[in-house]
Every structure is written in structure tokens, then in C-alpha cells.
């Protein structure tokens, strides 16, 4: 599997990253371990998780995902060969089961990191990410920005807290997630001002139904060596085509959880059907088309795949062997021009 440089570091991460947010909810610990074995055997060295996982987030399951990964790491002894990424939870009324309402203050970061290290059974995190900004801004399905006077925890406090752990060696590097172009450049400028390392990555949604990252952040990724870790490359599974014609497969995410309806709707259905047609003409599956498209984008450092079954995971892993021709890419662009970003 091809590898890409993580920011300006000496770390090489696999083209695909194994996402984990179903572990502890849709997947058992044993299934999580089998996924890890499959992924590592296929050449993946990059695993992404978060303190709030699994999703949907709730008090009785919070932290299970990191624990699934931790038990596998403890049993397998492969920690030094893997790049482990996790995230500290941002603020939100819907997250009060974490520290009575999490934020990105120094105290919360200290507590969050200690909990993640314990669950992961490791003494350092390779990439520690701010799951979403403390300030109110447009993320999680919002395209347009509407200004609010509330600011949240000052960025300087958050960065100084991260820098303390960088210097202590409990985290090696840090990154952003669900961040905007302004926020990314502000963090970079403030890090320079404070004389501390810059963020090395941005983990944002990116897929054929949501290419909003290209508008402002793609240039930032290139010019500031802060590449994209693309999440939801299959748009919650919609781009696999399994939900077309109003199908709702048993145990599928959109069947089980109505909160993940962001990638549904008439325009999404039309675009997905068109992309599925392109895939059929190319002799590949819709999922392989969607993942290969993300894999080939120059600003993407790693493409975060996830699956609930081993068959799905195998299909996703096979996307690294698919290279889309210029004709296929032009067909994709034609659909995008007609139906641009139907699902932020």
C-alpha cells in the first residue's frame, strides 16, 4: 500500500486509514480485532479513533472504541509499527455525559488525554486531534457561516495545553478536525507566534457528495503542509449504492440511526445513481469508485475507511488497486457540475 508523508513530519502513513467509530456499537470487540488484523495485513499502518466513540455517542458506550483498540494493541505487541490517532471532544449540549460537558480548555485536554492513554493501553499518541472547534462555526453539515458573538475557549489556551503534552512526549503531533480555512490558518499563525509546532493534518468530511473542502481548504493543505484526513469517503455508506431506490438494508447505519440522514435526499439520490452508473461502466463497484476518487486527490494524506462487515472492509481495502482514468474522472466532474455538493 502506498504511503504519504504526514504534514512536515518524518512519519509515513498508509494511503488508507482504518476508521473505528462502529466498534462497541455496531461491531463487537472480537469483530474490531478481526478488522484490525485484516487492515494491518493489507498494509495499513494508520488507525483513527476518538474518546467519544462509538457513534451515536452515549454515556453507556463512550470510550468502548478506544478500549477495543487498546486490547488489540496490548495483545498483539505491534504498537511501535502503527500510527495511532485519537481526538479530544469539543463542546456541545449533546455531549454532557463526557466530563459534564467537554470543552477544549487545558484541564479538559489533560483529562481527555489521560483517559485515552489508559483505554488505548499506550503511553503516547502519535496524532492528537481537536475533534471540532470550541468556537461556533459551520461544520457537521453546515455549508454557510453565520456569525455568533460567543467565542468558546481561547485558541491560545488550547494550543498551550497541547504544547505541554508535545514537550512531555505524551503526544507526538497534533491535528485539527471539522475545521474551516480561517480556523486552520489562525491555528497555524498562533502556533508560529507561540513558538510551537504547527498542526500536521485536518480531518474533515470529503466525498463525491460533499467536495466543499476543495473550495478553501485544499490550497491550505498544499501550501501549509497540513493534508486532509478524509472522513466519510462513502458518505455514511450512501455512495456504495446500497440505499438507492429507498432501500434500507438490515443493520445498516442509516437503517439503525436516523441522525445520520445528512447524505440522503433527492439530489443525493440522483448524484449517487449517476456515480453508480459510472462505476458500472468502468467495471468497478460504486464503493471502489468513490474511494478511488478520494485516494487520487493530491491534498489527501489518508482516506479513512470504515466497515461493519469483513466483506465491506475487503472491498474498501481493494480501492488502492483502482486508478481512475481521465475519462472516468471527467464523467465524475460532469455529475459534480450538474449536482454540486448536495450534502454538506
Q: Which residue has the cell 489508559?
A: 118
| 8 Å CB contact between 264 and 243 | yes
Q: Which residue has the cell 449536482?
A: 339
Residue 3: which of 29, 30, 38, 42 has the closest Cα? Answer: 42
| 8 Å CB contact between 95 and 102 | yes
Question: Residue 175: CA atoms inside 13 Å, Cβ hemisphere, count?
Answer: 30
List 53, 206, 243, 263, catalytic entry: 53
Based on the residue annotation, tell me whether 53 is a catalytic residue of this protein: yes
The Cα–Cα gap between 341 and 334 comes to 13
| 8 Å CB contact between 128 and 173 | yes
**Residues 6 or more apart whose Cβ sits within 8 Å of residue 200:** 6, 7, 8, 9, 127, 173, 174, 175, 225, 226, 227
**Residues 6 or more apart whose Cβ sits within 8 Å of residue 146:** 138
C-alpha grid cell, residue 210: 460533499
C-alpha grid cell, residue 25: 456499537
Catalytic positions are 53
Amino acid at each position: 500500500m502506498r504511503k504519504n508523508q504526514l504534514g512536515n513530519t518524518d512519519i509515513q502513513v498508509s494511503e488508507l486509514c482504518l476508521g473505528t467509530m462502529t466498534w462497541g456499537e455496531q461491531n463487537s470487540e472480537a469483530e474490531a480485532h478481526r478488522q484490525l488484523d485484516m487492515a494491518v495485513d493489507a498494509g495499513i499502518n494508520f488507525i483513527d479513533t476518538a474518546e467519544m466513540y462509538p457513534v451515536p455517542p452515549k454515556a453507556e458506550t463512550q470510550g468502548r472504541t478506544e478500549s477495543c483498540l487498546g486490547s488489540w494493541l496490548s495483545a498483539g505487541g505491534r504498537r511501535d509499527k502503527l500510527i495511532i490517532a485519537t481526538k479530544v471532544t469539543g463542546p456541545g449540549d449533546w455531549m454532557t455525559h463526557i466530563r459534564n460537558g467537554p470543552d477544549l480548555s487545558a484541564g479538559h485536554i489533560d483529562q481527555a488525554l489521560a483517559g485515552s492513554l489508559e483505554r488505548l493501553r499506550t503511553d503516547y499518541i502519535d496524532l492528537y486531534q481537536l475533534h471540532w472547534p470550541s468556537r461556533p462555526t459551520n461544520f457537521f453539515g453546515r455549508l454557510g457561516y453565520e456569525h455568533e458573538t460567543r467565542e468558546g475557549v481561547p485558541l491560545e489556551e488550547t494550543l498551550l495545553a497541547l504544547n505541554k503534552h508535545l514537550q512531555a512526549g505524551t503526544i507526538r503531533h497534533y491535528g485539527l478536525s471539522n475545521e474551516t480555512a480561517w480556523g486552520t490558518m489562525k491555528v497555524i499563525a498562533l502556533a508560529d507566534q507561540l513558538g510551537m509546532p504547527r498542526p500536521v493534518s485536518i480531518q474533515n468530511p470529503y466525498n463525491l457528495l460533499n467536495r466543499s473542502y476543495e473550495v478553501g481548504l485544499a490550497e491550505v493543505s498544499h501550501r501549509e503542509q497540513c493534508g486532509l484526513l478524509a472522513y466519510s469517503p462513502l458518505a455514511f455508506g450512501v455512495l456504495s449504492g446500497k440505499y438507492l431506490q429507498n432501500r434500507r438494508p438490515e443493520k445498516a447505519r442509516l437503517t439503525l440511526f436516523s441522525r445520520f440522514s445528512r447524505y440522503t435526499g433527492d439530489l443525493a439520490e440522483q448524484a449517487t445513481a449517476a456515480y453508480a452508473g459510472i462505476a458500472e461502466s468502468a467495471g468497478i463497484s460504486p464503493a471502489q469508485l468513490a474511494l478511488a476518487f478520494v485516494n487520487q486527490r493530491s491534498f489527501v494524506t489518508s482516506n479513512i475507511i470504515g466497515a461493519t462487515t469483513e466483506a465491506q472492509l475487503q472491498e474498501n481495502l481493494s480501492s488502492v488497486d483502482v486508478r481512475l482514468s481521465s475519462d472516468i474522472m471527467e464523467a465524475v466532474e460532469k455529475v459534480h457540475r450538474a449536482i454540486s455538493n448536495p450534502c454538506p
